[in-house]
Structure 1
Amino acid sequence: MTLPRVAMFSAQQYDIESFRQHPLCQQIELTTFATQLDHKTVSLCQQADVVCAFVNDELDRAILQHLKIQGVTHVALRCAGFNNVDTDAANDLGLAVSRVPAYSPEAVAEHALALIMTLNRKTHKAYNRVREGNFNLNGLLGFTLHGKKVGVVGTGHIGAALVRLLSGFGCEIYCYDPYTDEKLTETGATYTSLNTLLSECHIISLHCPLNEQSYHLINEQSLAIMRDGVMLINTSRGGLIDTHAVIKGLKTHKIGYLGLDVYEMESELFFHDHSSEIIQDDVFERLQTFHNVLITGHQGFFTAEALTQIAGVTLDNIVSWHTGKVSKERFVVKP
């Protein structure tokens, strides 16, 4: 049997290394492209059987049609979310779409907790002060996390991992999810309505997928019912938040702290070095001006363990599709 030819897009050096170091990589022919997959670059797939894509690669109907014409049979996502894929189009075209449904969920949960702790105790500001010989504590006042009400929106693998971490801090945890995780209720977490969670909690962390129902989940209306000075954390998908509404919330002090590892228009910015350029995104630049906003560049997944798991599961998806031995729970479209 010939080896499947795989075209990997948005390939960073760490992606390439984690894939090539995995034994299953010997069962594919891997070609890597640093560029994103979009309408300008789809022609690079002419010799590929499989496209390996990441979170900001474009996989709309037009691109999927191009892939089909060029002989691609499988889109292998090396991420959990698939909101960037037109799954209806993939199904119509007979293209398989696989993903990595769970990879080291603790990695993202720990990053969410790091954003919470950093924003609260202002350790990033304290670090800079001390390096400059400034030991003044004014402006660094935080709050005790123990006993605070924390809302976790979405209790899949990552949300559940965060609940377990927060339980150790003695937080009062509210959860919202269509499906109740009984193991989490045993730890003391309480499932409630979204409105109750939004109105009651001091800290709200988003861990739900992006779809038509969750798009701009955080908007002017949902912000209005939150506590004044609420802490909002998003390590899931940028589109969950209406950025303009959040900026307004920051200006009116409705939002007291904002921690983002994702951004609605991140595809133009994240995963690349723009330090010698003038960033053209005025909305992002406005966010950066707030002293109580902390933004990281979609690095929540970025641990050695997670990269190893992502490479292993993605490669297994590719090889299993090629050999006809498919793990159904990893395929969101299986013609």
Structure 2
Amino acid sequence: MAAFNLTPSDPSTFILMGIPGLEAAHLWISIPFCMFFFIGLLGNFMVLFVVGKEQTLHKPMYLLLCMLALTDIGKSTSVMPKTLCIFWFNLKSITVGGCLTQSFFLHTVSAMQSAVLVTMAFDRYVAICNPLRYATILTNARIAKLGLVGLTRAILIMLPGPLLLRRLPFCANRIIPHTYCEHIAVAKISCGDITINRIYGLVLGFVVIGLDLMLIVLSYSLIIRVVLRISSKKVHQKALNTCTAHICVMLTSYASSLFSNLTHRFGQGIAPHIHIILANLYFLVPPMLNPIIYGVKNKELRDIVGKYIWVIIWGH
């Protein structure tokens, strides 16, 4: 087969294999995937609806929850519709442009979510360490600006990704052994030198995950220092309870992201189907769990969501 280049006018397509080695089980695997996907969508749309409807929830913390919900929806919808088409209808082909767009979008949304988690850590730091100035430091307008900064950063640092893939030559092999167009997975099937792509991926991991995690750890170090100075155990518990939901969300998001990134680059001993299943769960489990975690830990949100569910079920 003749080599082809990734040019805007090129009609060529890539083939997404799904989960190599488990093709016969695709239909069965799709059942939990589909269930997690729709539970995540339902939970996150519920958060957006409730916060949008209730004036009492128009506060910085709930604005951040809406941003988190939007990134969760973006993460799962960037991957799952195509994955389910592969599992259900064997629709494995994807255009070059579609593949590059998916790669850019899913990585941008992931970087945006990381920025939201950093802002949430800063929100908790101000709430606990400087509560009297919380209302003046963190206004709704300032949270919106921080969200815009996070989105701009995500777009700018992820923009080179598709451009680096576009410059690569793709010869006879157009088969991507994955369910979606992950940057390194696409680069690996190229017949050219992908050293720059590998370096870009590692630098990206350090800049986004490494730097953001450092800022979050710094915020919580300052929070712990302030909390330890307080003698009242009741105040200790109240302060830590306000952080529990964010810590749980942060752990589910970063742990799965780090594992997926590291196994893609250094996990040669891990079976490909195990890695691909876990990589997909990164786009499914956190979006499903995040609204549940905040629903359980936040009494104000839990009560209002309960009220709406009651109205939906019983009509009054």
Both structures adopt the same fold (TM-score exceeding 0.5): no
The structure carrying a bigger strand percent of its residues is 1
Higher RCO, 1 vs 2 (CA within 8 Å, ≥6 residues apart) = 2
Normalised-by-shorter TM-score class: under 0.3
Normalising by the residue count of structure 1, what TM-score does the alignment of the two structures yield? 0.23
Normalising by the residue count of structure 2, what TM-score does the alignment of the two structures yield? 0.24
